[in-house]
Structure 1
Amino acid sequence: MIERITKIREREGMTPSKFAEAIGIQRSAMSHILNGRNNVSLDVLIKILERFTYVDSDWLLFGKGEMIREHVLTQPDLFQNTAINPSEGQAALEYRKETRVDTPVNNTKMPVVEQIIQQETNAKKVSKIMIFYSDNTFDTFISEKDKKE
């Protein structure tokens, strides 16, 4: 079981301490498990399965089958229906160039960003954007058109 936990940790690219933090256990507990000092508890196994939902429980518990659950491989994802993977009858796309100007945010300058944005011509329009900062403050940006209405 230690080897299987190590495979999950390595697949995620996490150190043992980051893995412990990700599943919500003490770093020392993870160290004891990986060193063979303590057996893996049911609580730890459940936390692993809840955090890494792609892991097959039979594989983790008994070493049977594959690490990744079968339905995870076949389940569609949010990005399946994008311009890279278009669906049939997808709306026409338009391209526009967007430039963001430096604006001071908390006394720091944000870099100018230029990017090409792909947008559906019949897409919904953004009316409000909220940015939350680590000091529990936020800024709200409302479209000029929405302010006038």
Structure 2
Amino acid sequence: MVNTEDFSKRLHKILEFYELSAAGFADQIEVGRSSISHILSGRNKPSLDFVMKVVKSFPEVELYWLLNGKGSFPPSEKSSPETEIKKEISTPSPVQKGNSSQKNEIPFPFPQQGKSKPIKKIVIFYEDGTFDAFEN
């Protein structure tokens, strides 16, 4: 269960990091301004829909940190496995640049079988129970 007071503190931290007012934040994640007010004051608990809108609108916010306070925010500049994968996907090797048969094909660091299909989403699960999702 999410501790409402602690969740509110983490939400304040997000607002400060992005330099947003509660109203601006509500507009950004497309929820009513009163919803933000009630959650920040501790009157209401966040819904799953609310939490998912925050994570979707602000990919730097880790779901596990937002819900449980474990992990870190704001994101550090340190290199992590997911940033290495992002670099590998977004920066094709010289061999891949010249051999791409499809326009806008994204090179993928894992072996592919058969026809190449566009990648819609990659989910990385960590041993500590957290995960990161990357959508194309």
TM-score by length of 2: 0.52
Among 64, 81, 88, the residue aligned to 1:58: 64
CA RMSD of aligned residues (A): 2.9
Q: Counting strand residues as a fraction of each chain, which structure ranks higher?
A: 1
Which residue of the partner structure matches residue 36 of structure 2? 30
Give the AA of the match of 1:56.
E
Q: Kindly state the Cα deviation for residue 56 of structure 1 after the two structures are TM-superposed.
A: 1.1
Question: Number of paired residues?
Answer: 83
Give the AA of the match of 2:50.
V
Runs of 4+ in 1 over 6 A off after TM superposition: none
Cα distance change, pair 51–41 in 1 and its aligned pair in 2 (3 A): same
Identity between Structure 1 and Structure 2 (%): 36
Cα distance change, pair 42–13 in 1 and its aligned pair in 2 (3 A): same
1:12 to 2:18 alignment? yes
Among 9, 26, 32, the residue aligned to 1:3: 9
Gaps of 5+ in 1: 81-149
1:44 to 2:50 alignment? yes
Higher RCO, Cα 8 Å, sep 6+:
2
Give the AA of the match of 1:66.
S
Q: Kindly state the Cα deviation for residue 71 of structure 1 after the two structures are TM-superposed.
A: 5.3
Larger CA Rg, structure 1 vs 2: 1
Equivalent residues of 1:54, 1:72 under 8 A apart: no
Q: Kindly state the Cα deviation for residue 72 of structure 1 after the two structures are TM-superposed.
A: 6.4
What does residue range 1-149 of structure 1 map to in structure 2 within 5 Å?
A: 1-67=7-73, 68=75, 70=80, 74=84, 75-76=86-87
3-state SS in 1 of match to 2:28 = helix
TM-score by length of 1: 0.47
Distance of 1:71 and 1:45 partners within structure 2: 24
